[in-house]
A and B are shown apart, each in its own frame.
Chain A
Amino acid sequence: MVDLIYFSWIREKIGKPSESIETNATTVAELLEELMKKDIRYSEVFADQDLFRVAINQELTNFDASILNAKEVAFFPPMTGG
């Protein structure tokens, strides 16, 4: 089981802040492919990889990263703090 966490407009478009899923994916990219096949909401949100970022276990990473040790995978737009 892996927890998926969404922020900002990604949370709003997917319609929930988080979910726990079973997955056979080994990388973020594979996980995204799996999600995009599941429901149109995911394919709309994740179609353009330039528009969002990923963190695994609260560390920023890239789409090639392994999720084999991931407890928590978060997707969010570029940050706007400060």
Chain B
Amino acid sequence: MYVSVQNEVFDFSKEIEQFSKKLNNVGALVTFTGIVRGKKSETLDFMFIEHYPGMTENQITSMINNAVKRWNINDALVIHRYGKLEPGEPIMMVATAAEHRREAFEAAEYLMDYLKSRAPFWKKEVINGKEKWVDATVDDELALDRWNKF
């Protein structure tokens, strides 16, 4: 397991190379990278992410442990940034490794859904010089429901 909560920009190709070197007996490797986008018809100056040091790492670790148990994945990686992020920069990435692709894809989606609304991060957007905290959406919560329907 690799968990990093960091301010620095990361290079996802290097991260995935390192992660994949340690894997054994894996048939599927799924990766997802979230990127700061500029808003349509508005200009995002930058994004600011705040987090709860300590709780963030613990929450992510327990999400990964749940994913390992549920899908029997071999390993997982989560990197999530905080601080000031410019448009086009990576925000976070998830990688999951499993014997088969279905487990790897589902575990990656599960981790992304939980990171969105159970890892203690809060995003603020600065658009044309105006600051605004990003609101959580009903869809974010609904996304978690589907993992509880088994």
A residues within 8 Å of B by Cβ?
5, 7-9, 11, 55, 58-60, 74, 76-82
Across the interface, do B52 and A74 meet the contact criterion of CB distance under 8 Å? yes
In the complex the two chains form, is B133's CB within 8 Å of A77's CB? yes
Compute how far the CA of A48 lies from the CA of B49 in the bound complex, rounded to whole angstroms: 24
Residue among B80, B112, B115, B121 facing the most chain A CB atoms (10 A cut-off): B121
A79 to B120, CA, bound (A): 6
State whether A79 touches B117 (Cβ < 8 A): yes
Q: Which single member of A7, A78, A82 contacts B50 (CB below 8 Å)?
A: A7
The count of A-to-B residue pairs whose CB atoms sit within 8 angstroms is 73
Q: Is B34 an interface residue (CB 8 A)?
A: yes
B122-A58 in contact (CB<8A): no
Q: CB distance B34 to A82 under 8 Å? A: yes
Contact, CB under 8 Å: A77 / B136: yes
Residues of the A chain whose Cβ atoms lie less than 8 Å from the Cβ of B34: 82
Residues of B within 8 A of A80 (CB): 116-117, 121-123, 133-136, 140
Q: Which among A55, A58, A74, A79 is the interface contact of B121 at CB below 8 angstroms?
A: A79
Q: What is the interface size of chain B, counting residues whose CB is below 8 A from a CB of the partner?
A: 27
B interface residue numbers (CB < 8 A to A) = 34, 49-52, 54-55, 58, 80, 91-92, 112, 115-124, 133-136, 140
Cα–Cα, bound, A78→B92 (Å): 19
- Rounded to whole angstroms, the CA-CA distance of A5 and B54 in the bound complex is 13
CA distance A5 to B52 in the complex (A): 9
**Do residues A8 and B133 form an inter-chain contact, with CB atoms below 8 A?**
yes
B112-A82 in contact (CB<8A):
yes
**Does A81 lie within 8 Å of B117, measured CB to CB?**
yes
Cβ–Cβ < 8 Å partners of A79 in chain B? 116-122, 136
By beta carbon, the residue of chain A nearest B55 is A58
Min C-beta distance of A80 to chain B, whole Å: 5
For this complex, 12 residue pairs linking A to B, each with C-beta atoms less than 8 Å apart, are A55-B55, A59-B55, A74-B120, A78-B136, A78-B140, A79-B117, A79-B119, A80-B117, A81-B121, A82-B34, A82-B91, A82-B112
Q: Which 10 A-B pairs have the closest CB atoms?
A: A81-B121, A78-B136, A82-B116, A58-B55, A8-B122, A81-B119, A82-B115, A80-B123, A80-B134, A81-B115
